[in-house]
Structure 1
Amino acid sequence: MERRVLIPHDISPSALQTAGSGLPVSTFSGETMGTYWNAHVLIPREICEQECQHTITKAFQEVIDQMNHWDSSSELSRFNSSPAGTWHHLSNEFYEVLRQAIEISQLTHGAFDPTVGKLVNMYGFGPQTPLPHPPSAQEVSTARNLTGWKQLKYGERDHQIFQAGGVTLDLSSIAKGYAVDNAVRALKAQGVHSCLVEIGGEFRGEGCKADGKPWWVNLEQTGSQNSPAEITAALCGLSLATSGVSIKQRTLDGKLYTHLVDPHTSQTITDELVSVSVLAPCCMEADAWATALFVLGLEDGLKMAAQYKLMAYFRYLDDSAIVEQYTEEFASLLD
């Protein structure tokens, strides 16, 4: 099958400093945030592998301690369970992620919304015990009344956020990407110049391998004859995130529900889109935009991606075939 490749336009000379270094690729893996993680690192000779692995897992744990809605002791969970009318001081990392989430909420007119926690819980994809039956119109209405990013009030100087009452944050569509960025940032501070870090299909690549080759990552493909040709991206100073609903699904009384909720309709998404992939400099941005564009759907998602000049790739079903569409910015990287 034909293969296509994505190459970044601008590669900094510093990205090639590990070329010819002779450093081997050290590989680490494990579980975090309910999924798997992998890291491929060219470790400088003065750093041992155990130090490097500790740096990665510590960076992940910082995000878990702050933004994990499955952990009742995390900052996010404490905010979600707090009484109405209270202010809460946020750690710097939590505040950075929330600000990015709110910014993308504004740009997408609420298609991306960090306050959908009540709706996600109601459909059985959050930390609360799922309903044994499809949610009623009243249950949907109650959850919807407690949803909306515009309810979030925050103080920029002191990094505080206001709990209006019943607002439930869910940062799962942006926190994994941030955790990848956090790990890469920590590795670079340790002296690492080249690495590829992934959490559950969200990637960020920096630098190159010792032979001068980039970190190659395949975009999600089905491998069937009715699929477009495979695309492989060179992640050199780039991140890749993909959003879809094929994994997290449940059926109640014959109706399919998925983990992605449209904040405008309060319903889960089961339309013709298969996946949306976004390339961006940081993984947090790619992660959030991939979710937002998937929620918007093919037509509106493509329009918004074009409006903001995003490197976005859409896959959708047309009869039994998988068809692709992408933005000009994405096409410009195809060789």
Structure 2
Amino acid sequence: MERLQGRTMGTTWSVTLVRPDTVDPQALAAGIQRQLDAVVAQMSTWEADSDLSRFNRAPAGTWQPLPAEFYAVLEHALALARDTDGAYDPTVGPLVELWGFGPVRRDREPPPAEAIAAARARVGWQQVRLDPERRSAWQPGGVYVDLSSIAKGFGVDQVARHLDAAGVSDYLVEVGGELRGRGRRPDGQPWQVAIERPGAAAGAVGRLDEVERVLSLDDRAVATSGDYRHAFEDDGAIYSHHIDPRSGRPVPHRIASVTVAARQAVDADPLGTTMMVLGPEEGMAYAVAHDVAVLFILRTDAGFEERMSPAFATLLGTGTKTP
């Protein structure tokens, strides 16, 4: 079993794999890096010359041709926005910027109501139209698409596709905490990943008391969203980076973290954000109706409380809960 690693999207990537003798590890690592670099070049709001940044700066009332991958991810994001009535919305960028969680550095403090109203006027997934024949997107003017909640998941899937094409059939891909596993470890067991308990130290979970669940990834991806890493405090109130596009404000409910498992990371990634925005009741109703495997960890006066969908409970047939 070997491990390849590198940096991307302001974080790290790693691939743990059983490498066939015919596969050169250096060439494989270089190929993985190229896949992730391509995602950044197309979909990063942090890169001024990315295809996404150019779309966001495009003149009002223009059709903008997009690379195939960018177009596919935007189409996927808009479909989820439509399906959730805007609880998930890839045009949330102006609000992310306003609250200080975007690439432009600014003081993190609650903005005035009039600024929130102005930003909300620029938000709305319905404003972006797609032309599949020309593979183009309509920039009506002032729309700022932010794909941070889905591009990383797409990157994980791109790495998996690259490994498949290279003849690697047993691997665990990780990009910034989002994972996808296929095949088996050398001992014949499925890849197992730890779902961290909210408040655990950043980075790899190193102690059992930092583990909430252990999940087996058998040709499956998993993504966890939490409110305890990217947040700020002001006058005793905590504001997380999960912005509700419908209100223009960080989500106010008591979800500490959400873990979503799906066949592809491009699904698990944005669904985690969606569940954070919908909240435990509406989110669980959506999960049950759409057969989404989701684990909520809620804050209560008595400590953390778990709620999981039937689909997630099914996945735990080979999982464990820590004492």
**Global fold match (TM > 0.5):** yes
Correspondent of 1:154 among 118, 124, 130: 130
Distance in 2 separating the partners of 1:308 and 1:133: 36
Match of 2:11 in 1: 35
Gapped regions of structure 1 (runs ≥ 5): 1-24
Does 2:111 match 1:135? yes
**Which letter maps to 2:171?**
C
| SS class of match (2:88) | coil
Match of 2:320 in 1: none
> How much does 1:117 deviate?
0.4
Q: Deviations over 1:127-174 (max 9, x none)?
A: 123246531111111100000101111101111001111100100001
8 A Cα contact 1:26 1:49, kept in partner? no
Match of 1:11 in 2: none
Correspondent of 2:242 among 253, 256, 260: 260
The normalised TM-score by structure 1 is 0.88
| SS class of match (1:59) | helix
**Which letter maps to 2:233?**
T
Distance in 2 separating the partners of 1:170 and 1:308: 25
Match of 1:22 in 2: none
Distance in 2 separating the partners of 1:134 and 1:47: 52
Distance in 2 separating the partners of 1:199 and 1:81: 28
> How much does 1:96 deviate?
1.0
Distance in 2 separating the partners of 1:199 and 1:327: 25
**Which letter maps to 1:197?**
V
Does 2:225 match 1:250? no
Does 2:314 match 1:328? no
Match of 2:61 in 1: 85
> How much does 1:273 deviate?
0.3
Are the structure 2 counterparts of residues 49 and 273 from structure 1 closer, same or farther at C-alpha, using a change threshold of 3 Å? same
**Which letter maps to 1:162?**
W
Correspondent of 2:193 among 217, 232, 240: 217
Distance in 2 separating the partners of 1:148 and 1:220: 33
Does 2:164 match 1:188? yes
**Which letter maps to 2:32?**
I
The normalised TM-score by structure 2 is 0.92
Distance in 1 separating the partners of 2:101 and 2:211: 33
Correspondent of 2:82 among 102, 106, 119: 106
Write the mapping of 1:9-88 to structure 2, written as runs, cut at 5 A.
25-88=1-64
RMSD after superposition: 1.7
Match of 2:140 in 1: 164
Distance in 1 separating the partners of 2:239 and 2:7: 26
| SS class of match (1:125) | coil
**Which letter maps to 1:326?**
M
> How much does 1:230 deviate?
3.6
8 A Cα contact 1:66 1:76, kept in partner? yes
8 A Cα contact 1:273 1:316, kept in partner? yes
> How much does 1:243 deviate?
1.0
8 A Cα contact 1:174 1:287, kept in partner? yes
**Which letter maps to 2:84?**
T
Does 2:276 match 1:300? no
8 A Cα contact 2:194 2:211, kept in partner? no
Percent identity between the two aligned chains: 39
Are the structure 2 counterparts of residues 110 and 304 from structure 1 closer, same or farther at C-alpha, using a change threshold of 3 Å? same
| SS class of match (1:192) | coil
Match of 2:154 in 1: 178
Write the mapping of 1:117-128 to structure 2, written as runs, cut at 5 A.
117-128=93-104
Correspondent of 2:91 among 115, 124, 140: 115
> How much does 1:258 deviate?
1.9
Correspondent of 1:238 among 217, 220, 225: 220
Gapped regions of structure 2 (runs ≥ 5): 201-208, 318-323
**Which letter maps to 1:77?**
S
Distance in 1 separating the partners of 2:10 and 2:108: 23
**Which letter maps to 1:149?**
W
Match of 2:177 in 1: 201
**Which letter maps to 1:249?**
A
Q: Deviations over 1:79-116 (max 9, x none)?
A: 11111111111111111111110111111111110000
**Which letter maps to 2:51?**
E
